[in-house]
Amino acid sequence: MKFTLSWLKEHLDTDASIDEISETLTKIGLEVEEVINPAAQLNGFITAVVETYERHPDSDHLGLLTVNTGKEKLQVVCGAPNCHQGLKGIFAPVGTLIPCYNEVLKVGKIRGVESFGMMCSEKELGVGTDHTGIIELPADTEIGVPAAQVLPIDPVIEISITPNRAECLGVRGVARDLAAAGLGKLKPLNIRKISGTYTSPIKVEIKASEACNTYVGRYIKGVNNKAQTPKWMQDRLTAIGLRSISPLVDVTNYINYDMARPLHVFDADKLKGNICVRMANEGEKFTSLEEKEYTLDSQSLGICDDEGIQCLGGIMGGLEKGCSPETTNVFVECAHFTPENIARTGRKFQIDSDSRYRYERWVDPKSNILGSDYATQMIVDICGGEVSEMVMAGSEDFEPKTAYIRPSRIKDLIGLDVSAEKIIEILTHLGFTCSQENGKIKAVSPTWRGDIEGEHDLVEEVVRMIGLDNIPAVSLPHDKLPKVTLSAKQHNAMIVKHELANRGMLETVTWSFMDENLADMFRAQPDHLTLINPIATDLNEMRPSIVPNLLIGVKNNVARGENNVALFEVGPQFYGRKPTEQTQAAAGVRYGLTNSKHWAHNERPVDIYDVKADALAAIAAANGPVDSAQITTDAPGYYHPGRSGALRLGKNVLAYFGELHPSVSKKFGLKQRAYAFEVFLDNIPLPRNTQGKARKKLELSPLQAVDKDLAFVVDKKVKAIDVITAAKTADRATITDVRLFDIYEGDNLPEDKKSLAITVTYQPIEKSFTDKELEVLMQKVIVAVENKCGGQLRQ
């Protein structure tokens, strides 16, 4: 909402400065977004007179001036066609910042003649648009005074209006609030009661009272729409960003911003028959004045003549029956539409207008006749014409909202004592009619307020006038040691992030949505989870996996020349459109080299064992069962079928890891192999509450453990984990660790065989092993590997 200072003063009698006004507006809940005060940039400019004027010796169109500033006389070169001897205008001495060019004026030399300053145009000063000549001030203007004192300067104030304060979408509402805050007096409205001289040839009828309960119309014949809109009105409209179009349009715009009162003017000669306010027929067409065609439904309200819908009630006028410069007879509409219907239709057809904006918030239901009089008066004043009697359908009867407030409630809710007298004073200033009933204050809302439902609303009115700064600040009481803030699950998510970052990955945060087409490759079920109104076509589906978003991240980094990327994210993944159909995952992608070219070690590309380690580390960080998890080779199809795995507890999948399927990498434009893991944090079992934090007793043996190396020849398809498990379980009492330290395929071995070498750690229990005992223990491992994996001890 924008208005100018002079506009505000039309309604508010005040001496307050622009700074005081803007500070108060913010304090009472009408937040000032911007104040544009042209006076602020007029520093240095002064009034001056052109004492002598002659032709520039070396130019036909330039003048050579002596300018008297009251203090000194200066030689100035000036090209303005309206410059002449005796002209009083605005002078910029050398060193002045010229707003229009944003440059400091220097001594100029124009065709060999020096110029010590400049006579200015409106445009150069930023106070107007005129640049055809320099400003010419009245002959009695004093010279040598600051420009801001003599120029007509009207600062523009922009405030943001919250949806509950619809009446402040008109300057009068703002003025009333300021008056209530003690910043002046609200001036009485000066609207003439107009009595018509003939009966309107156009009648009105309401057939949809649920959407429109009042319709006031007036016929004005013989108007001149080619007349000039008065300069003051043009200036105010221009200042708030509206274009002056024609007097009829300007008047409706002006009243909309002056009184928050929308209006519509039809070209009466184009209307056929009478006005009927009715619901549209399903499929009925309407073409707006913006030349867009809409196919309406039966809940859309139309203002119709015999030829159909000419106006989408309260939202936008139609193309056909609007006013043109040639218009001579008009029909002025001032009506009341219900917010619900306006909001529905506006949203359905996505039409935004100043009128819709006001109606769907609140328009004073008792302002129809007033608005009609106001508009009629202005039209007649500007365009002339002869006014009919008012025609009206429905009535302006309206029961204002009533609410009660207990002074004690303010103290209870706000922590501040406010007397009943003060409450009544504040509410009365705001237009409420107050009376006291059984210790409560009864407050009847003014008709321009539609937001007051109950006591809490009245509390807010009082508080905003008293000032939030006057409420004391009291720390929250806390009388005990707070318990641990994070739940076990929340704590796990946090630790996992820190673990993965500590493993060299960069945590990122990516959109929860992604490209539907890319999601195809990552979706477990065929259901798409698309947005009706995505912000971009490639962000139109809730992500089924974090991995694709990380791959986009990798791709963008590679495009910037960063070829080694390790990114992870902890966040939601979605599998259904209902709330709770989402899971929390920690996903990571590694790409390029894990060790780059270095003097001390070879460069090493990322491989699946890096992402397997990431997945295991994340599970371990979340207190997951790393040792008892099984590894299976059934990761989803977006992974390489032979280079991926799942970590699971039976059916419960804790994680997937592996190389991404080459067709997936290709789709993301990645030239090298990419590796990913996904840990499903929700699937990691949480410790039961009954479990204490005490650990198992640590049994330490005084005896030294013995390491024995064994190598087995097995079929190539035998999984390493099976050999390790077979060895580990060969003698649970003594074998504490089995480590695979070598894999060999090739010479000396059959084509389909490989050799796996392991170190088995034996822990003696009561006394050290004898050679014989060790021999037996090793034999147990050999037998176990042979039985379970078909392995032969390699000689």
* Stretch of 26-34, 294-302, 311-319, 731-739 contacting other proteins, by CB under 8 A: 26-34
How many other CB atoms sit within 10 Å of the CB of residue 293? 9
In the list 60, 139, 283, 473, the residue contacting other proteins (rule: CB under 8 A) is 473
SS3 653: strand
Q: Is 517 in the site for other proteins (CB under 8 A)?
A: no
- Considering only residues 619 through 638, tell me which ones interact with other proteins, judged by CB under 8 A: none
Q: How many residues contact other proteins, by CB under 8 A?
A: 103
In the list 510, 759, 761, 792, the residue contacting other proteins (rule: CB under 8 A) is 510
Shortest spacing between CB 446 and other proteins, in angstroms: 18
Between residues 600 and 733, which has the closer beta carbon with respect to other proteins?
600
Q: Is 405 in the site for other proteins (CB under 8 A)?
A: no
By the 8 A CB rule, do 388 and 237 touch? no
Shortest spacing between CB 274 and other proteins, in angstroms: 30
User: Which residues have CB under 8 Å from 226's CB, separation 6+?
Assistant: 246, 325
* Stretch of 45-53, 258-266, 468-476, 632-640 contacting other proteins, by CB under 8 A: 468-476
Q: Is 524 in the site for other proteins (CB under 8 A)?
A: no
By the 8 A CB rule, do 9 and 248 touch? no
φ, ψ at 41 (rounded to 5°): -105, 15
By the 8 A CB rule, do 375 and 390 touch? no
Shortest spacing between CB 653 and other proteins, in angstroms: 21
φ, ψ at 735 (rounded to 5°): -85, 115
Reported as type and span, the H/E element at residue 676 is strand 674-680
In the list 297, 396, 457, 520, the residue contacting other proteins (rule: CB under 8 A) is 457
**Whole-angstrom distance, CA of residue 728 vs CA of residue 734:** 9
Between residues 481 and 733, which has the closer beta carbon with respect to other proteins?
481
**Whole-angstrom distance, CA of residue 275 vs CA of residue 184:** 43
In the list 26, 129, 701, 770, the residue contacting other proteins (rule: CB under 8 A) is 26
Q: Is 395 in the site for other proteins (CB under 8 A)?
A: no
Shortest spacing between CB 419 and other proteins, in angstroms: 18
- Considering only residues 331 through 390, tell me which ones interact with other proteins, judged by CB under 8 A: 339-340, 343-344, 347, 360-361
Checking DSSP bridges between strand 204-206 and strand 275-279, what pairing results, if any? parallel
By the 8 A CB rule, do 569 and 546 touch? yes
In the list 427, 463, 619, 777, the residue contacting other proteins (rule: CB under 8 A) is 463
* Stretch of 123-131, 296-304, 385-393, 558-566 contacting other proteins, by CB under 8 A: 558-566
SS3 209: coil
CA angle 74/75/81 to nearest 5° reads: 115
**Helix locations, 591-732, DSSP H:** 608-621, 662-667, 720-728
In the list 107, 145, 488, 531, the residue contacting other proteins (rule: CB under 8 A) is 531
In the list 14, 200, 329, 582, the residue contacting other proteins (rule: CB under 8 A) is 582
* Stretch of 91-99, 314-322, 499-507, 677-685 contacting other proteins, by CB under 8 A: 499-507
Residue 684's Cβ-count burial label (10 Å; 0-12, 13-18, 19+) is buried
By the 8 A CB rule, do 245 and 324 touch? no
Q: Is 669 in the site for other proteins (CB under 8 A)?
A: no
- Considering only residues 417 through 456, tell me which ones interact with other proteins, judged by CB under 8 A: 454, 456
In the list 328, 512, 759, 761, the residue contacting other proteins (rule: CB under 8 A) is 512
Shortest spacing between CB 528 and other proteins, in angstroms: 6
**Whole-angstrom distance, CA of residue 229 vs CA of residue 251:** 9
Q: Is 703 in the site for other proteins (CB under 8 A)?
A: no
* Stretch of 1-9, 308-316, 486-494, 651-659 contacting other proteins, by CB under 8 A: 486-494
Q: Is 689 in the site for other proteins (CB under 8 A)?
A: no
What's the CA dihedral at 506, 510, 515, 519 to 10 degrees?
Answer: 60
Query: For the CA atoms of the chain, what is the radius of gyration?
Result: 41
CA angle 177/181/185 to nearest 5° reads: 75
Q: Is 460 in the site for other proteins (CB under 8 A)?
A: yes
Shortest spacing between CB 677 and other proteins, in angstroms: 14
In the list 60, 326, 397, 412, the residue contacting other proteins (rule: CB under 8 A) is 412
* CB half-sphere exposure, 302, CA atoms < 13 A: 25
Instruction: Fill in the per-residue mask, 150 to 179: x = in contact with other proteins (CB under 8 A), - = not in contact.
Output: ------------xxxx--------------
* Stretch of 7-15, 239-247, 560-568, 767-775 contacting other proteins, by CB under 8 A: 560-568
- Of the chain, the end-to-end C-alpha distance in Å amounts to 91
Between residues 328 and 512, which has the closer beta carbon with respect to other proteins?
512
Shortest spacing between CB 638 and other proteins, in angstroms: 19
**Whole-angstrom distance, CA of residue 492 vs CA of residue 371:** 64
SS3 163: coil
By the 8 A CB rule, do 574 and 582 touch? yes
Between residues 568 and 762, which has the closer beta carbon with respect to other proteins?
568
In the list 443, 500, 615, 738, the residue contacting other proteins (rule: CB under 8 A) is 500
Q: Give the residue among 686, 631, 691, 685 at the shortest CA–CA distance from 655.
A: 631
Instruction: Fill in the per-residue mask, 114 to 153: x = in contact with other proteins (CB under 8 A), - = not in contact.
Output: ----------------------------------------
Q: Is 579 in the site for other proteins (CB under 8 A)?
A: yes
Q: Give the residue among 716, 705, 740 at the shortest CA–CA distance from 726.
A: 740
